[in-house]
Amino acid sequence: MSPNNPIAKIFNAIPFIMQVIIGLMLGILLAVIYPGDKTVIPAFGQLFVAALKAMAPILVFVLVSAAIAGHNKGTKTNMTPVIVIYFVSMALASLLALIATYIFPTSFPSLASAAENLSPPQGISEVLMNFVIQAVDNPVNALLHGNYVAILVWGIAFGLMFRVAHEHTKMVLDDLAQTVAGVVRMVIRFAPLGVMGLVYSSCTQEGGFSNLLNYVQVVLVLVGTMLTVALILNPLIAFIYCHKNPYPLIFASLTQSAITAFFTRSSAANIPVNLALCERLHLPKNTYTISIPLGSTINMSGAAVTIVVMTMTAVRTLGIEVDFASAFLMCVAAVLGACGTSGIAGGSLMLIPLACSIFGISSDIAMQVVGIGFIIGVVQDSTETALNSSSDVVFTAVACKQIELPEDFHTNAATVQPTVEEIKDDDNV
């Protein structure tokens, strides 16, 4: 398509984030006007998420391998501060959630049975063992099923072996990484349509947002705590570490990363979005190609908040007295458990029985709390994923001490998200 094509000009003249917002509003409008569609409009969201999930594993594997293969001795990767910041933020988020449950006490109106067929892990040791087992999964199986712990491990292993390969081989690997990244950028360009379909599905699904009315207090505490983490705690960590104003970076990560994560409800699907954002922020490629996939696995502040708030609400509902030692132990369990949520069906909700066991709450009652978690998941899970995923970008930038937005940040989107002309030209090749 010619650059002078009027349709291309219209699309390229609208900022990408504005296109996403338009897609969001269009999804709500269609849900109000025509709520009966179960196939066509929802398909846009399903296809978008499926495409991101399909590309993310191979993208992570190739980028990690290429980054390590091309790594020069003496070049900083900043991985130690990244990991430390990840765990510090999760610990502080769990403590903040604990404080929030005392300031704004909540309880469940009922603990109806809603999750009999789910199988939670039996202890921290099982969670950590599952994490280790995932790491040595078959590499082909890991790519097929999106096991990012194993993908990281094998990507690092292959990258180390490629370091002794011929320079031409390294160039081929780097070209492959650029090609895969280009395909992902094309997929991301369709985010406005994907968001439209996802919003439409959320608004028209059975029960939908109406189920939240029964648990509005719990939802408000959860969302309020996560917003506090995103808007106060994370900026505070960034300021202490870098001594610069972190809010331009915070708002950039929220608008560019959190919005798509909120509607995809998948940290894995948002990996390509975060990698593209890190590229626009001019962060070191040796750092973000590893820290972003790693963050999608272990950086789970939102999960820690969910585990603490839901557990303390159950404790208060049952009238159990809580001492400081037990509450502190629960926060530790929440942090350690949150690191393994990416490998457990149901994510953070499935770690609630683990935390409940600290207070002697039976598995049957704990699983009822999990059932309530699935009911409010339309907001809880979306907000949690948005916090988790956007924090990956923030803390990667903080660890690199590059929290100021580059001068061309608002003008270089086209280099990361291809224009309509580029997509059409690629199609014609």
Q: CATH number for the domain including 260?
A: 1.10.3860.10
pLDDT of residue 227: 96
User: Which residues span the domain enclosing 300?
Assistant: 6-428
pLDDT digits (tens, 9 = 90+) for 34-88: 888 878 888 988 888 788 778 778 877 887 787 777 666 655 677 889 989 999 9
The one-letter amino acid at 146: G
Residue with tokens 């159950």, as numbered in its chain: 314
CA 342 from chain centre, in angstroms, equals 10
Phi then psi dihedrals of residue 273, to 5 deg: -65, -45
Q: Kindly tell me if the per-residue pLDDT of 421 is higher than 60.
A: no
Weakest mean pLDDT among 181-190, 218-227, 391-400: 181-190
Whether 1 is in a domain gets the answer: no
pLDDT digits (tens, 9 = 90+) for 122-173: 555 665 676 677 778 888 888 888 776 788 788 888 888 888 788 888 888 8
User: Pick the residue with more confidence: 340 or 29?
Assistant: 29
What's the whole-number mean pLDDT along residues 217-239? 94
What average pLDDT does the chain have? 79
Whether 330 is in a domain gets the answer: yes
The one-letter amino acid at 315: V
Identify the DSSP state of 122.
S
CA dist 15 to 201, 256, 410, 411, Å?
Answer: 25, 11, 9, 9
Contact indicator for 194, 54 with CB cutoff of 8 Å:
no
What's the whole-number mean pLDDT along residues 20-36? 84
Which band of pLDDT confidence, cut at 50, 70 and 90, is reported for residue 346? low
Most confident of 93-107, 178-192, 364-378, 397-411: 93-107
What pTM was estimated for this model as a whole? 0.71
DSSP per residue, 71-94: PPTT----HHHHHHHHHHHHHHHH
What's the whole-number mean pLDDT along residues 326-344? 73
Whether 300 is in a domain gets the answer: yes
Structure tokens at 364: 């049957």
Q: Kindly tell me if the per-residue pLDDT of 420 is higher than 50.
A: no
Contact indicator for 297, 146 with CB cutoff of 8 Å:
no
CA distance 336 to 125: 10
Residues 6+ apart with CB under 8 A from 2: 8, 421
Whether 143 is in a domain gets the answer: yes
Whether 149 is in a domain gets the answer: yes
Helix (H) or strand (E) holding 181: helix 167-188
Contact indicator for 69, 162 with CB cutoff of 8 Å:
yes
Which band of pLDDT confidence, cut at 50, 70 and 90, is reported for residue 422? very low
Which band of pLDDT confidence, cut at 50, 70 and 90, is reported for residue 181? confident
CB atoms near residue 364 (< 10 Å) = 12
Whether 109 is in a domain gets the answer: yes
Q: How many domains does the chain have?
A: 1
Residues 6+ apart with CB under 8 A from 25: none
* Alpha helix positions (H), 105-166: 124-135, 139-145, 148-162
Q: Which long-range contacts (CB under 8 A, 24 or more apart) does 108-113 make?
A: 108/215, 108/218, 108/313, 108/314, 108/317, 108/369, 108/372, 109/214, 109/215, 111/314, 111/317, 111/365, 111/368, 111/369, 111/372, 112/368, 112/371, 112/372, 113/364, 113/367, 113/368, 113/371
* Alpha helix positions (H), 205-258: 216-228, 234-242, 247-253
Contact indicator for 284, 428 with CB cutoff of 8 Å:
no
